[in-house]
Amino acid sequence: MSDSLQTFDTPTKRILPFILATAIFMQMLDSTILNTSLPSIAADLNESPLNMQNAIISYVLTLALFMPVSGFLADKFGTKKVFIFAIIVFSLGSLFCALSQNLTQLVISRVVQGIGGSLMTPVGRLALLKTYDKNELLRAMNYAIVPALIGPVLGPVVGGYMVDYLSWHWIFLINIPIGFVGIVLSLKYMPNYQSKIITFDLKGFLIFATASLLLSISLEMFGTATHTTPVLMIFILGFLMVYFYYRHASKTENPIFPLNLFQVRTFRVGILGNLATRLGISSVPLLLPLMIQIAYGASAVVSGWIVAPMALTAMFGKSSVIKILNRFGYRKTLMTNTFIIGFLICCLAIPGIQTSIWWFVPIIAVMGFFNSIQFTSMNTISLADLRNSHTSSGNSLIAVNQQLAIGFGIAFGLVVLKLFENNANLNYENTHSAFRYTFIVMGILTILSGFVFRRLHSKDGENMRTDH
């Protein structure tokens, strides 16, 4: 075990980051591994590949629907019970997916998986929040977050190989041994935190869940819709429900997400920064493999390998982030880091159609390093100043926000790409040019999003320092 983890003085503190890591890894792998495997699953189930989108959407929507309730369930039944229940449900969902004989069975199985997934990560992170002192939290979160960086990159590679050399069923069966490890470790080391004061804001949950659902549906449809007007209506309706929730929360005594969460500046900036910076960052793992396959004509496995170095360099970023934050503080680190990531996304537009696709490898490798710093910093600053009474609701809201932010990023990337593809002035090397311009737009947007972190004070996050 790593030396820096040895500094945690109890077995629970040493093992807990790995327990959360198993949950994050399963969820992130599952969100991405399916993308490369859809055509072969479609062929096996005698379905059109276009209909297979339902298998992805059903999972995403279930996450959006149940994530808001994760904090309440953990407070009522205890973090240990809910976390183990979530892993069991997720693993069973994975088994049902592998055994599915048709698309309907697969969609239902994905919903079961989604119920488990919506509770796993938020509840695991809540246990982490309540176990560690503020100055230990950064290191603990740092270990737990690595799978979140590796999952989206390994997913397409592992999925490609499993489909080519085994069968698509294995992309779901791989979760079962990981889930088993998570359950065994949780039984022994997961603490069972409960809250004495529990009130459930059912009306607030229904309004907020409807908002999450409508926003998620619209984001999923933006990428594939031929007519954007109905999708736009659903999107606006989603935002309208957010406003209704705001109205409800301002009058209710114990809303599911208290509005005074947003009076905490570090939480407010963390949530907003997460949403803004992921617009550009989230689209890259989707757009780059697409460009390599469509514009350059390479195989899915090759495109997977080109993105893979991101996972390796993320590990190096993980080992550097604590030193960087201790030295420069959150404000300077997050602003500079966001600018660098934005510049690197713009760099993906440089190689021409005649250039070797391996030129993307160094850009992607450097990006993996800075992504690692970005996600650890954004997640920990959001939690830095939350009071104990706010940890459950704040943590659930961060989970919902991340889920929507990734969806926003992917949908926005696809919309920008479509706009450029439909532009009559781009007739020369049309598709490749459309991708290049898309990367420039996403890069500039990411650079601009760095200014969100200007609202942090230079001393923010001092309580998270590990060198006290």
First to last CA, the chain: 23
Q: Is the C-alpha dihedral spanning 58, 61, 65, 68 positive or negative? A: positive
pLDDT for the residue 2? 41
CB 25 within 8 A of CB 174: no
Homologous superfamily of the 261-468 domain (CATH): MFS general substrate transporter like domains (1.20.1250.20)
Closest Cα partner for 88 from 182, 192, 171? Answer: 182
H-helix or E-strand containing 92?
A: helix 79-99
CA-based R_g, the chain, Å: 21
CB 238 within 8 A of CB 214: yes
29, two tokens? 């792998």
What mean pLDDT value characterizes the chain? Answer: 81
- Give the angle subtended at the CA of 148 by the CAs of 9 and 72, to the nearest 5°: 70
Q: Which amino acid is it at 281?
A: I
What three-state secondary structure class fits 195?
coil
Read off the pLDDT of each residue in 169-173 and give the average, rounded to a whole number.
82
Please state whether the predicted TM-score (pTM) of the whole model is above 0.95: no
pLDDT for the residue 226? 66
* Domain spans, the chain: 1-198, 201-255, 261-468
CB 71 within 8 A of CB 119: no
Q: Name the CATH topology of 1-198.
A: Growth Hormone; Chain: A; (1.20.1250)
Do 1-198 and 261-468 come out as alike in CATH topology?
yes
Q: Which residues contact 392 (CB under 8 A, 6 or more apart)?
A: 71, 72, 74, 75, 126, 195
- Per DSSP, the residues of 205-239 read HHHHHHHHHHHHHHHHHHTT-S-HHHHHHHHHHHH
pLDDT for the residue 6? 44
Angle, helices 11-44/175-189, rounded to nearest 10 degrees: 160
pLDDT digits (tens, 9 = 90+) for 408-467: 887 788 888 888 877 656 554 577 888 889 999 999 999 999 999 998 888 877 777 665
Closest Cα partner for 315 from 368, 360, 361? Answer: 368
> What burial class does residue 428 get, using C-beta atoms within 10 Å of its C-beta: 0-12 exposed, 13-18 middle, 19+ buried?
exposed
How many Cα atoms are found within 13 Å in the side-chain-facing hemisphere of 203? 11
pLDDT digits (tens, 9 = 90+) for 18-50: 888 888 888 777 766 776 666 677 777 777 766
pLDDT digits (tens, 9 = 90+) for 323-362: 888 888 889 999 999 999 999 999 998 888 877 888 888 9
Percent above pLDDT 70 for the chain: 88
Task: Please say if the pLDDT value at position 1 is more than 50.
Answer: no
Q: Which residues contact 267 (CB under 8 A, 6 or more apart)?
A: 261, 382, 383, 385, 386, 394
pLDDT digits (tens, 9 = 90+) for 265-322: 888 898 999 889 988 888 887 788 778 877 887 776 777 778 778 877 887 777 788 8
Q: Which residues contact 50 (CB under 8 A, 6 or more apart)?
A: 224
Q: Which residues contact 12 (CB under 8 A, 6 or more apart)?
A: 131, 189, 190, 191
pLDDT for the residue 36? 63
Closest Cα partner for 80 from 195, 11, 183? Answer: 183
Per-residue pLDDT band at 4 (split at 50, 70, 90): very low
- Per DSSP, the residues of 269-294 read HHHHHHHHHHHHHTTHHHHHHHHHHH
- Integer Cα distance of 273 and 119 in angstroms: 24
CB 452 within 8 A of CB 272: yes
CB 119 within 8 A of CB 83: yes
